[in-house]
Structure 1
Amino acid sequence: MDKILLPSMMCANFADLANEVKKLEDANVSGYHIDIMDGQFVPNFGMGLQDLEVIRKNTKKLVDVHLMIDNPEKHIDLFAKMGVDIIYIHPESDIHPAKTLQTIKQKNIKAGIAINPGTSVETIKPLLHIIDYIMVMTVNPGFAGQKYLDYVDYKIEELLEDSFKSQFNYAVFVDGAISPERIDKLSTMGVEGFVLGTSSLFNKKKDYKTIINGLR
């Protein structure tokens, strides 16, 4: 099965965002990953609604939003109206994460949870019955260009273990310092999707099409 390769659009060239999407479309990426940050849940501000609007307007492919914001339940309707395909929330940012995830699914949008390096599998287990995706953060969220945290691999292994995963119906994606070497290793483990930033896609000498073909 082909792996899902999603450019992290916070790393793209914002001076010409529509053209960036065109070049990524030509490279046959699987879709687009949008980081939304409020400066509260994480110590940084992320992409804006206008950026999301430009990306959504210029592609028919999958667009996900990773909500690194407090109280995401207040904004689910807004992102649903913008035509996104997957919404990720952090369980720690929401008073009633199960209710918010159910709201996402009721809008015919795939529901996902993003788990920080310090979030254990045991704490999210009650939510696994109602999600479609788990995005494992392999860096602490909020900034591009960080170092991969090797200890997170144990958590990925636990989520992919047959005896555990067979109880649920989710796909595992990873986000943070995802290099070609990491893709090779994690693909073998069973990870299905990869968010691509500066470690593998952006700010390279090769064009996007050559890079994506190489990763595939």
Structure 2
Amino acid sequence: MRLRIAKAVFTSAGCRRTQRGARRPHIARGGSSLAGVNDDLLNARQVAPSVLASDFARVGAQVEEVMAAGARVIHIDVMDGAFVPALSMGPQMVSALDEQVHGAGGWLDVHLMIERPERHVEAFAAAGADSISVHVEATPHVHFALKAVREADCKAGLALNPGTTATAIDSLIGAFDLLLCMTVNPGWGGQPYIAGSEARIEDLRRRIGPDVPLEVDGGIDVSTAGPAAEAGATLFVAGSSIYGAPDAAAAYREIAAAAGA
């Protein structure tokens, strides 16, 4: 896989842009609303294959396979070895998939499982991220981190670990554009879905209302996607259940059907 890193420049107004010009023209400036072909992507049920579970020697081919099967949201898990034990990938992966995913009308959904994510938002936005989720547990400056994501022309996601009380989001409602509910403890792929997560999903849905996308991440497969959807989830991250299957495209379609996507 050839990694293409977008070179960033600064305009006279001080705004960071890639050499390709204005970043992600399918997103309205300021990150407050979606526009164009991608407007429905986070407003309808979607299964988001996670490249963390893919074969890194064939990432492009495997992303192409699931997108040909109907996937439009591609999920990228970023781990720093500090907030979570594992190390995964950085902005270079986002940059490598930028043209491929956006050229197919897709969306790059970045999940930062890293300490002090506000320090790294610019790099992931410049690489081509469309949405960036930060953990409420990862920084004392959550409002600032979410604001930084929006100012980088991305949709701001707030992520919540299983052990964090749902009330942690209450003072942040309005500051984020999507909510990510972890249904496993973060740190590595292939973990089983935490039983009883549906009650938590229902609670979070009540708190954020009907219109905010609610993403679930961890242990999502054909047996868990349906109950999570019934509880109020709309975006379903699936990694090993797709890329660990003999036929990733077929696995994607089966999970999408189970989720009603």
TM-score using structure 1 length: 0.91
Choose the corresponding residue for 1:203, options 244, 249, 252.
244
For these two proteins, the number of residue pairs brought into alignment is 211
2:173–2:208 contact (8 Å) kept in structure 1: no
Match of 2:252 in 1: 212
Match of 2:201 in 1: 156
Choose the corresponding residue for 2:72, options 16, 30, 53.
30
Choose the corresponding residue for 1:111, options 124, 138, 156.
156
Q: Distance in 2 between matches of 1:197 and 1:73?
A: 26
Matched, 1:6 2:48: yes
Letter in 1 for 2:186: P
Letter in 2 for 1:165: I
Q: Distance in 2 between matches of 1:116 and 1:12?
A: 23
Q: Gaps spanning 5+ residues in structure 1: where?
A: none
Q: Sort the Cα spacing of 1:136 and 1:110 in 2 relative to 1 into closer, same or farther, 3 A.
A: same
Q: Distance in 2 between matches of 1:40 and 1:211?
A: 32
Letter in 2 for 1:170: V
Letter in 1 for 2:53: C
Runs of 4 or more, structure 1, over 4 Å off, are none
Match of 2:82 in 1: 40
Matched, 1:73 2:114: no
Q: Distance in 1 between matches of 2:93 and 2:144?
A: 28
Letter in 2 for 1:187: A
Q: Sort the Cα spacing of 1:48 and 1:77 in 2 relative to 1 into closer, same or farther, 3 A.
A: closer
1:57 aligned counterpart, secondary structure: helix
Q: Distance in 2 between matches of 1:17 and 1:213?
A: 19
1:121 Cα deviation (Å)? Answer: 1.0
1:209 Cα deviation (Å)? Answer: 2.7
Letter in 1 for 2:141: H
Identity %: 33
Bigger shift: residues 150-159 or 79-88: 150-159
Q: Gaps spanning 5+ residues in structure 2: where?
A: 1-42
Q: Distance in 1 between matches of 2:233 and 2:160?
A: 15
1:25 Cα deviation (Å)? Answer: 1.8
Q: Distance in 2 between matches of 1:106 and 1:54?
A: 23
Match of 2:212 in 1: 170
Q: CA RMSD in A?
A: 1.7
Q: Distance in 1 between matches of 2:131 and 2:59?
A: 21
1:37–1:142 contact (8 Å) kept in structure 2: yes
How is 1:42-191 mapped onto 2 (pairs within 5 angstroms)?
42-60=84-102, 61-161=106-206, 164-166=207-209, 169-191=211-233
1:169 Cα deviation (Å)? Answer: 4.9
1:159 Cα deviation (Å)? Answer: 1.2
2:79–2:114 contact (8 Å) kept in structure 1: yes
Letter in 2 for 1:74: R
Q: Distance in 2 between matches of 1:165 and 1:100?
A: 19
